């Protein structure tokens, strides 16, 4: 094989007349007017080559004429200007072509299961087929671009952290089972019969131990594993940019991550993003947007009407207030024409949160159309008009329930209405707009009604806000955690917290608040409590979802498009056919026996 002299996105007019050798894949072949044109593609791009029977030995010309797409070839020839009128401004090498003198076929490709050369056709190929033949799918220039961007961003992030004095430390993949969070993947130990490792859900405990170890600034682009029932855009293994620092406060993390994201946006998109990012409390986020990761690129904010309806004769509303709840509403501007199906979808959302139904008003032909309006007083109506800026063509939606539930119902409906309005061309969000924000002051604990116990909103290592520690035992719901989430365009990019670094407080959280028995605490976390008694600096950190970050930068809706070898929504790798059964001997070696169904 002749060594290539250029890659396939390199030749320009200035190379005309030069002898060159290119190697790559047959992207497309056209037979025109006795000539054969082959676009040769490599990772960088493509170049048109011309096979002219009058310049080439017959067997070489015939070989060129018979080549299937995606065969791997090496060609040598001379660069020439394309004749006027035949240039291709869509590709960077479009002014020139290579007149081939020699062709070597390095590998003949058989007929492909799907085409690689046409983004439109390839984009419509069933995803299972793409995943089964991932090596073909990744050849598509669109996918190659994603891989390149991912690599570039990872490098930029590593350089950024290095410049800030961070140490990149690898932490184990074989960890210990601590079944508090999501379900874990377990790995049986051959050497220790009946014992298991677990794959880490995140390097959380190790990074905290690195702080006790004096590392001060840790970073790792770390693989994490969660054996969850997969939701649409989740993967059982995923990558985080994982960070931990000592002797810091929340502000230090905000500064660091704002700097990182500035660097990443500049590297990937050439864009300058303004900092500092807006900060919004959990309370405010829920109150205004009904969600703890608000998309602030459009308004349609929730209004509170609790006071206005406290003594309303409409009992559904006044009753909710009397029961300690709230009345909230939003104005889906211009959506009075919502279809029956759309109203039903929204009603189902409300019901999924335990509501009995969904109250709404359509403002059409100067009239408020709704069975509930007759119960409203003039005062209530004018309060609604004022607070929601009601106009002809609007759709008003209500939730009357406990505060969190009412907010969450309307939060979900707000996003749904925004999608519908976008589809109707009544709401437009400029492409390339990025609304970053920090969500802060989350409650440290949430109450699980079913199991009648408190659990950590983030994870059990999150420190309470100092002035709230006094309420830990007396009024846990009042305690705010030093937890923060970074959100962009309604997507949670990551989250973290300042940690507890005193053994006693950590023990109280485990045993008295989370009600984990002292024996279990000792077995699972004893080493941490010990470490916290042997010189532990105050510390905190954050983790950013790297796959999600890259998907946002690539403008992809699915993280599968930015992971080289992702699994399906059912957790299978269709290319290698994994998971797969193992042999009886392997099971015996691991001291395992399968239950027969």
Chain contacts with ligand ASP (rule: CB under 6 A) = 202, 204, 495-497, 541-543
Q: How far is the CB of 158 from ligand ASP (least distance, A)?
A: 18
What contacts 240, CB < 8 A, 6 or more positions away? Answer: 202, 221, 222, 224, 494, 543, 544, 545, 546
Considering the complex, state which of residue 334 and residue 495 has its C-beta at the smaller distance from ligand ASP: 495
Considering the complex, state which of residue 244 and residue 380 has its C-beta at the smaller distance from ligand ASP: 244
Q: How far is the CB of 497 from ligand ASP (least distance, A)?
A: 5
Closest CB to ligand ASP belongs to which residue?
202
Residue that is written with structure tokens 């309806």 in the block: 309
Q: In what order do the strands lie in the sheet with 491-498?
A: 167-168, 217-225, 237-246, 539-545, 491-498, 483-488, 436-440, 278-281
Render the burial of 281-311: b for 16+ CB within 10 Å, e for the rest.
Answer: ebbebbbbbbbbbbbbbbebbbbbbbebbee
CA 402, chain centre distance (Å): 30
Considering the complex, state which of residue 327 and residue 513 has its C-beta at the smaller distance from ligand ASP: 513
The structure tokens listed for 545 are 């979802």
Q: How far is the CB of 496 from ligand ASP (least distance, A)?
A: 4
Considering the complex, state which of residue 376 and residue 442 has its C-beta at the smaller distance from ligand ASP: 442
Considering the complex, state which of residue 139 and residue 483 has its C-beta at the smaller distance from ligand ASP: 483
Considering the complex, state which of residue 333 and residue 499 has its C-beta at the smaller distance from ligand ASP: 499
H helices within 38-89, ranges in order?
58-66
Q: How far is the CB of 245 from ligand ASP (least distance, A)?
A: 11
Count of C-beta atoms within a 10 Å radius of residue 180 = 16
Nearest to 444 by CA among 508, 383, 370, 371: 508
Considering the complex, state which of residue 202 and residue 296 has its C-beta at the smaller distance from ligand ASP: 202
Q: How far is the CB of 211 from ligand ASP (least distance, A)?
A: 12
Considering the complex, state which of residue 245 and residue 479 has its C-beta at the smaller distance from ligand ASP: 245
Considering the complex, state which of residue 48 and residue 204 has its C-beta at the smaller distance from ligand ASP: 204
Q: How far is the CB of 390 from ligand ASP (least distance, A)?
A: 41
Count of C-beta atoms within a 10 Å radius of residue 415 = 19
Confirm if 26 and 67 have CB atoms less than 8 A apart.
yes
Q: How far is the CB of 540 from ligand ASP (least distance, A)?
A: 8
Integer angstrom CA distances of residue 333 from 278, 489, 537? 25, 20, 52
- H or E element, residue 99: strand 96-107
Q: How far is the CB of 204 from ligand ASP (least distance, A)?
A: 4
The structure tokens listed for 594 are 């399968």
The structure tokens listed for 262 are 């500035």
Considering the complex, state which of residue 464 and residue 495 has its C-beta at the smaller distance from ligand ASP: 495
Q: How far is the CB of 566 from ligand ASP (least distance, A)?
A: 19
Considering the complex, state which of residue 257 and residue 359 has its C-beta at the smaller distance from ligand ASP: 257
**Sign of the alpha-carbon dihedral angle for 156, 239, 565, 127:** negative
Q: How far is the CB of 526 from ligand ASP (least distance, A)?
A: 20
Q: How far is the CB of 495 from ligand ASP (least distance, A)?
A: 6
Considering the complex, state which of residue 326 and residue 531 has its C-beta at the smaller distance from ligand ASP: 531
What contacts 327, CB < 8 A, 6 or more positions away? Answer: 304, 305, 306, 308, 309, 317, 320, 321, 398, 399, 400, 406
Confirm if 539 and 134 have CB atoms less than 8 A apart.
no
Burial class (CB in 10 A: 0-12, 13-18, 19+), 572: middle
Q: How far apart are alpha carbons 136 and 72 in whole angstroms?
A: 13
β-pairing, 167-168 vs 217-225, is parallel
Considering the complex, state which of residue 179 and residue 379 has its C-beta at the smaller distance from ligand ASP: 179
**Helices and strands counted in the chain (H then E):** 17, 22
Q: How far is the CB of 515 from ligand ASP (least distance, A)?
A: 22
DSSP E strand boundaries for 406-452: 436-440, 445-448
Q: How far apart are alpha carbons 120 and 117 in whole angstroms?
A: 9
Q: How far is the CB of 218 from ligand ASP (least distance, A)?
A: 11
Nearest to 300 by CA among 288, 308, 287: 288
Q: How far is the CB of 469 from ligand ASP (least distance, A)?
A: 19
Confirm if 101 and 77 have CB atoms less than 8 A apart.
yes
Considering the complex, state which of residue 476 and residue 495 has its C-beta at the smaller distance from ligand ASP: 495
């Amino acid at each position: 094989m002749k060594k290539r002299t250029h890659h396939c996105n390199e030749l320009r007019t200035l190379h005309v007349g030069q002898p060159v050798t290119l190697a790559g894949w047959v992207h497309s072949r056209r037979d025109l007017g006795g000539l054969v044109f082959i676009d040769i593609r490599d990772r960088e791009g493509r170049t048109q080559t011309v096979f002219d029977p009058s310049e080439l030995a017959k067997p070489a010309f015939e070989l060129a004429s018979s080549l299937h797409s995606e065969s791997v070839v090496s060609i040598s020839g001379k660069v020439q200007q394309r004749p006027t009128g035949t240039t291709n401004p869509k590709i960077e090498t479009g002014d020139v072509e290579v007149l081939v003198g020699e062709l070597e076929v390095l590998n003949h490709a058989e007929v492909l299961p799907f085409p690689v050369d046409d983004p439109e056709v390839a984009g419509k190929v069933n995803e299972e087929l793409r995943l089964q033949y991932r090596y073909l799918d990744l050849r598509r220039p669109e996918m190659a671009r994603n891989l390149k961007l991912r690599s570039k961003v990872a490098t930029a992030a590593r350089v950024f952290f290095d410049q800030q004095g961070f140490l990149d430390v690898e932490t184990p993949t074989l960890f210990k089972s601590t079944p508090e969070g999501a379900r874990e993947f377990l790995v049986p130990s051959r050497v220790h019969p009946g014992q298991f490792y677990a794959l880490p859900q995140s390097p959380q405990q190790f990074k905290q131990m690195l702080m006790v170890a004096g590392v001060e600034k840790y970073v790792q682009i770390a693989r994490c594993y969660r054996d969850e029932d997969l939701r649409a855009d989740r993967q059982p293994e995923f990558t985080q940019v994982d960070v931990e620092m000592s002797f810091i406060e929340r502000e230090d993390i905000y500064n660091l991550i704002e700097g990182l994201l500035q660097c990443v946006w500049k590297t990937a998109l050439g864009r300058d993003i303004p900092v500092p990012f807006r900060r919004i409390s959990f309370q405010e986020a829920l109150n205004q947007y009904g969600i703890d990761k608000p998309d602030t690129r459009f308004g349609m904010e929730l209004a509170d009407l609790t006071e206005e309806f406290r003594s309303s004769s409409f009992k559904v509303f006044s009753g909710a207030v009397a029961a300690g709840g709230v009345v909230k509403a939003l104005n889906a501007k211009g959506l009075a024409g919502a279809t029956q199906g759309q109203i039903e979808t929204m009603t189902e959302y409300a019901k999924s949160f335990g509501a009995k139904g969904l109250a709404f008003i359509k403002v059409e032909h100067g009239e408020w159309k709704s069975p509930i309006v007759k119960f409203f007083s003039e005062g209530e109506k004018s309060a609604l008009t004022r607070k929601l800026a009601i106009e002809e063509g609007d759709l008003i939606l209500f939730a009357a329930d406990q505060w969190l539930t009412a907010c969450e119902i309307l939060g979900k409906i707000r996003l749904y209405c925004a999608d519908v309005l976008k589809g109707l061309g009544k709401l437009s969000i400029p492409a390339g707009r990025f609304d970053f924000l920090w969500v802060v002051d989350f409650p440290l604990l949430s109450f699980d009604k079913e199991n009648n116990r408190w659990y950590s909103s983030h994870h059990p290592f999150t420190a309470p806000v100092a002035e709230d520690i006094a309420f830990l035992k007396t009024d846990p719901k009042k305690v705010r955690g030093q937890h923060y989430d970074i959100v962009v365009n309604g997507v949670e990019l990551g989250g973290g917290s300042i940690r507890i670094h005193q053994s006693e407080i950590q023990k109280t959280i485990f045993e008295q608040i989370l009600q984990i028995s002292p024996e279990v605490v000792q077995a699972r976390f004893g080493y941490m409590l010990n470490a916290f008694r042997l010189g532990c600096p105050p510390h905190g950190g954050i983790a950013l979802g790297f796959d999600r970050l890259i998907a946002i930068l690539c403008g992809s809706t699915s993280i599968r498009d930015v992971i080289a070898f992702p699994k399906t929504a059912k957790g299978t790798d269709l290319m290698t056919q994994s998971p797969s059964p193992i042999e009886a001997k392997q099971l015996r070696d691991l001291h395992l026996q399968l239950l027969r169904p």
